[in-house]
């Protein structure tokens, strides 16, 4: 006798509504601890005298008088100028590169599309180090070669200048514009442009009346993002700027904190000024993203993007532009690091095999400081990237699956770290944990807190976009059968997010290994990571060992990316 099991009633467990609120509360508390405690202490300390942990301090406005005085406004003006120039130049380069690979028949455009994002994996510190070797006015390789060819007519290029600073930043940040504009160009409905041309409009009028208005939100969003990143940059401006009197807010923060005599409270005021600049830029960035809804052109019946057929001279020009950008941003800097690391002294004139040496590497590997830095970096990458990714997955899940005001609050809180520059975050953490958790000071735990705060927004953005595209039916079924939110998250959501989790982990691991602004504020002799070791080596004038350290760091980064790409293909097949 057969039994119809489909008619047997299933007893469903009652869900406890309190647990849902508890889950949202946990997410809010975690973000609050990471963000608002250092932010609150940054504000508090800017109105106090004394140093972190010091008792019997008084309220004062002197720190803000300094911030809005001669030096503070000089720092602010230089930061805004560098941010604006970098944003404009990056938009020009990024739009051109995006158009070449997305809307033309340029040969090899798919390969170029992948190559153009490599500069994002090349730390600005490494790029600056390499370009100092290339464009130093006295002994830079480019100037030495120019003097040999054209005689002693002065420096052909000088990296120690405002154009030098902007050039390095543009080479590094142009891929942000490229990625944003390429996506917009690919998603643009080509029928609009075809209709414009069919009605007799010229190519330029079609671009001006159709393409540019549709692309303007993506271009503006990328421009504001680059402006914020360039204005808050510390590594490039601190290595090059002081030599020519170009001092920015991040440099002023570090000098106020670690100079003699030190003024930690003034550093807090400057950090808040920098944070205000970042917040304004990020708010404009978010506003530009929301404007994209007004320019939706892709629908179910949309046509393919219009592909421009280039003549042979234009194709050659396109390849020259692409090759020049890749040469300046990746090839020349990497080759310079390698040459400098293996040379007895840095030159290409009269270069012979006798000048090659392994001495810099043997000295480097004999240094106990390097091995301490490598150990610290390995621990920070493995633990920091894992904790940050798990927190980002949890926060993005609450944001994507939440309802009403809870979703908006968690989503806003997860966006907050993007607005906090690294040096400002470092100052806030030092004040917060010197007063609240003094046992964290001088430990790797403080650096882990900084990295989790700084990069949780990056991970939540990647996983949040993936969660929005995932059908929640499996999660709803688990909830219907009585599973708690946390169990559903652990057993269903996390396995479905394996690819975005893996990609976020790799991205955050690279960011942590190359991080300088927050690390330079928080490190001690026993917690020094490789990025700070490289910075101090360069700052101390040991250029050859800095080249060797930079070569090792950049090579390891590229290897991690290659291995990650190989593993991603395997994950996507599961």
The whole-number pLDDT of residue 269 equals: 93
Q: How far apart are CA 512 and CA 500, in angstroms?
A: 18
How confident is the model over 491-519, as pLDDT tens digits?
Answer: 887 787 777 888 788 888 888 988 898 89
Mean residue pLDDT of the chain comes to: 81
Statement to judge: residues 353 and 399 lie in one domain: no
Report the percent of the chain where pLDDT is more than 70.
81
Statement to judge: residues 194 and 275 lie in one domain: yes
**Number of domain units in the chain:** 2
| Position 121 in a domain | yes
Q: What is the CATH number of the domain that holds 514?
A: 1.10.3720.10
| Position 437 in a domain | yes
| Position 9 in a domain | no
| Position 261 in a domain | yes
| Position 62 in a domain | no
Q: Measuring CA to CA, which residue among 464, 418, 458 is closest to residue 286? A: 418
Whether 17 has a pLDDT exceeding 50, the answer reads no
The whole-number pLDDT of residue 77 equals: 95
Q: Which residues contact 245 (CB under 8 A, 6 or more apart)?
A: none
Q: Which residue has the tokens 């406890």?
A: 16
Whether 6 has a pLDDT exceeding 60, the answer reads no
Neighbours of 503 (CB within 10 A): 19
How confident is the model over 77-131, as pLDDT tens digits?
Answer: 999 999 999 999 999 999 999 989 988 888 988 899 888 988 988 888 889 999 9
Statement to judge: residues 151 and 267 lie in one domain: yes
Query: At what angle are helices 70-102 and 264-290 packed, to 10 degrees?
Result: 30
Domain coverage including residue 252: 67-296+320-359
Statement to judge: residues 375 and 355 lie in one domain: no
Residue 277's SS3 state is helix
Statement to judge: residues 412 and 448 lie in one domain: yes
Q: Which residues contact 240 (CB under 8 A, 6 or more apart)?
A: 128, 132, 159, 160, 164, 165, 168, 246
The whole-number pLDDT of residue 300 equals: 45
How confident is the model over 37-48, as pLDDT tens digits?
Answer: 888 888 988 998
Statement to judge: residues 242 and 153 lie in one domain: yes
Statement to judge: residues 32 and 88 lie in one domain: no
Q: What is the pTM of this model?
A: 0.85
| Position 564 in a domain | no
The whole-number pLDDT of residue 556 equals: 82
Statement to judge: residues 160 and 268 lie in one domain: yes
How confident is the model over 440-464, as pLDDT tens digits?
Answer: 888 898 899 889 888 887 887 777 7
Q: How far apart are CA 85 and CA 168, in angstroms?
A: 12
Which backbone phi and psi does 308 adopt, to 5 degrees? -80, 130
Q: Which of 19-28, 198-207, 320-329 has the lowest mean pLDDT?
A: 19-28
| Position 447 in a domain | yes
Whether 238 has a pLDDT exceeding 80, the answer reads yes
List the end-to-end C-alpha distance of the chain, in Å, as a whole number: 41
Statement to judge: residues 153 and 220 lie in one domain: yes
Interior angle at CA 499, CA 498 and CA 501, nearest 5: 65
Statement to judge: residues 84 and 164 lie in one domain: yes
Statement to judge: residues 76 and 118 lie in one domain: yes
| Position 10 in a domain | no
Q: Which of 343, 359, 375 is the last residue of a domain?
A: 359
Q: Which residues contact 349 (CB under 8 A, 6 or more apart)?
A: 144, 145, 148
How confident is the model over 396-437, as pLDDT tens digits?
Answer: 777 776 665 666 666 666 667 777 888 888 888 888 877 777
The whole-number pLDDT of residue 236 equals: 92
Which backbone phi and psi does 48 adopt, to 5 degrees? -120, 160
Query: At what angle are helices 17-46 and 404-415 packed, to 10 degrees?
Result: 40
Statement to judge: residues 229 and 285 lie in one domain: yes
The whole-number pLDDT of residue 8 equals: 46
Q: Do 106 and 315 contact (CB within 8 A), yes or no?
A: yes
174-210 burial: b if 16+ Cβ within 10 Å, else e: bbbbbbbbbebbebbbebbbeebeeeebeeeebeeeb
Q: Measuring CA to CA, which residue among 180, 177, 303 is closest to residue 230? A: 177
């Amino acid at each position: 006798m057969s039994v119809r099991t489909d008619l047997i009633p299933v007893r469903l467990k009652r869900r406890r509504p309190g647990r849902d609120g508890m889950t949202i509360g946990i997410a809010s508390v975690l973000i609050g601890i990471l963000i608002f405690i250092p932010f609150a202490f940054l504000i508090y300390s800017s109105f106090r005298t004394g140093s972190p942990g010091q008792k019997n301090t008084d309220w004062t406005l002197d720190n803000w008088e300094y911030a809005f005085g001669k030096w503070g406004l000089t720092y602010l003006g230089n930061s805004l100028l560098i941010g604006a120039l970098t944003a404009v130049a990056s938009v020009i380069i990024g739009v051109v590169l995006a158009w070449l690979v997305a809307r033309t028949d340029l040969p090899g455009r798919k390969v170029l599309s992948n190559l153009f994002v490599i500069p994002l994996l090349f730390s600005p510190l490494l790029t600056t180090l390499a370009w100092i070797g290339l464009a130093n006015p006295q002994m830079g390789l480019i100037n030495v070669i120019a003097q040999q060819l054209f005689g002693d007519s002065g420096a052909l290029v000088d990296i120690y200048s405002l154009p030098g600073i902007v050039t390095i930043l543009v080479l590094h940040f142009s891929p942000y514009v490229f990625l944003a504009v390429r996506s917009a160009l690919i998603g643009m409905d080509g029928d609009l442009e075809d209709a414009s041309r069919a009605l007799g409009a010229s190519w330029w009028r079609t671009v001006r009346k159709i393409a540019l208005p549709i692309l303007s939100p993506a271009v503006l969003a990328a421009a504001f993002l680059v402006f914020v990143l360039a204005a808050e940059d510390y590594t490039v401006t601190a290595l090059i700027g002081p030599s020519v009197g170009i001092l920015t807010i991040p440099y002023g923060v570090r000098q106020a904190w670690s100079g003699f005599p030190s003024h930690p409270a003034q550093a807090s005021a400057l950090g808040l000024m920098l944070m205000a600049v970042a917040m304004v830029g990020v708010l404009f960035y978010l506003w530009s993203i929301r404007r994209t809804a007004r320019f939706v052109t892709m629908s179910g019946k949309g046509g393919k993007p219009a592909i421009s057929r280039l003549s042979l001279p234009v194709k050659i020009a396109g390849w020259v532009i692409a090759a020049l950008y890749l040469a300046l941003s990746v090839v020349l800097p990497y080759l310079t690091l390698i040459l400098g690391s293996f040379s007895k002294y840095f030159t290409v004139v009269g270069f012979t095999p006798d000048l090659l040496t392994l001495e810099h590497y043997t000295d480097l590997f004999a240094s106990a400081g390097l091995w301490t830095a490598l150990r610290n970096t390995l621990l920070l990458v493995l633990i920091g990237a894992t904790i940050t990714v798990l927190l980002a997955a949890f926060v993005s899940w609450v944001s994507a699956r939440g309802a009403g005001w809870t979703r908006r609050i968690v989503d806003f809180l997860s966006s907050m770290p993007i607005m906090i520059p690294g040096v400002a975050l470092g100052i806030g953490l030092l004040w917060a944990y010197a007063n609240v958790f003094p046992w964290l000071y001088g430990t790797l735990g403080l650096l882990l807190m900084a990295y989790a705060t700084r990069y949780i927004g990056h991970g939540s953005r990647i996983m949040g976009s993936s969660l929005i595209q995932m059908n929640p039916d499996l999660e709803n079924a688990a909830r219907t059968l009585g599973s708690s939110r946390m169990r559903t998250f652990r057993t269903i959501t996390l396995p479905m997010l394996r690819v975005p989790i893996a990609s976020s982990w790799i991205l955050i691991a690279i960011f942590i290994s190359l991080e300088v602004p927050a690390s330079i504020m928080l490190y001690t002799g026993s917690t020094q990571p490789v990025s700070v070791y490289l910075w101090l080596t360069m700052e101390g004038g040991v250029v050859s060992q800095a080249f060797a350290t930079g070569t090792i760091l950049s090579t390891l980064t590229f290897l991690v990316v290659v291995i990650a790409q190989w593993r991603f293909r395997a994950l996507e097949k599961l």
